[in-house]
Chain A
Amino acid sequence: EAGVAQSPRYKIIEKRQSVAFWCNPISGHATLYWYQQILGQGPKLLIQFQNNGVVDDSQLPKDRFSAERLKGVDSTLKIQPAKLEDSAVYLCASSSPAVGVTEAFFGQGTRLTVV
């Protein structure tokens, strides 16, 4: 079974530039999450999708961050404009509550450095 795919793995941008991350979840997983992991901290939820609808985006900085999940499969997370404090690893995860398991499967993440 293929895992959660994310790209790119690494990205370096200057502050005030824009950047986008892509995620392809495990096939059949209806729930998709984006987490932000700042160095030395645990992952923090940014947004959760159920199919193509947003379940929770309460911690998403909506003035600069946006996310979409077209057709309930792939997802894109965008930052515009980026700030220095956005430097972090962005993790995508998916799960399939339909089978009664709430564990999330994580991709390898995208490491963003804002200079």
Chain B
Amino acid sequence: AQSVTQLGSHVSVSEGALVLLRCNYSSSVPPYLFWYVQYPNQGLQLLLKYTTGATLVKGINGFEAEFKKSETSFHLTKPSAHMSDAAEYFCAVSDAGQAGTALIFGKGTTLSVSS
């Protein structure tokens, strides 16, 4: 069975500092990997995804993530945090072998950005 572990339920950074949100997955088959962001009282918005090909994936709002198969990780980074990045971030995995397979989410990491 697939699962996702997000290390750290809450991460606090200063504006301009590096953002690093950690995600490890467990999957018996090659997975698709996703990062979603959720702002208060909103649905989930896709930040980026890894399907195949280049392991460094760039997303919206300056975020990127690197798929490391040997470490079963897909950590999310951003070089310089903005106040507007404060939100809940979810890592998710799905079975690449079956199109349309439902996403399995981690518990989420709340990112706080201070001025």
Q: Interface residues, chain A, CB within 8 Å of chain B?
A: 4, 30-31, 33, 40-45, 48, 50, 55-56, 91, 93, 95, 97-98, 100-109, 111
B99 with A97: CB separation less than 8 A:
yes
Query: Do A106 and B45 contact each other (CB < 8 Å), given the known contacts A42-B90, A42-B106?
Result: yes
Docked pose: A61 CA to B44 CA in angstroms:
24
Docked pose: A40 CA to B49 CA in angstroms:
23
Band of interface residues on B: 20 to 34
B43 with A104: CB separation less than 8 A:
no
Q: Interface residues, chain B, CB within 8 Å of chain A?
A: 4, 9, 32, 34, 36, 41-46, 49, 51, 90, 92, 94, 96, 99-108
Docked pose: A101 CA to B90 CA in angstroms:
19
By beta carbon, the residue of chain B nearest A46 is B102
Contacts of B4 in A (CB 8 A): 42
**What would be 11 A-B contacts, judged by CB atoms less than 8 Å apart?**
A31-B100, A33-B103, A40-B9, A40-B107, A42-B90, A43-B105, A102-B99, A102-B101, A103-B46, A107-B43, A109-B42
- Please indicate which of the listed interface residues B9, B100, B104 has the most CB atoms of chain A within 10 Å of its own CB: B100
Selected contact of A104 from candidates B9, B99, B103, CB within 8 Å: B103
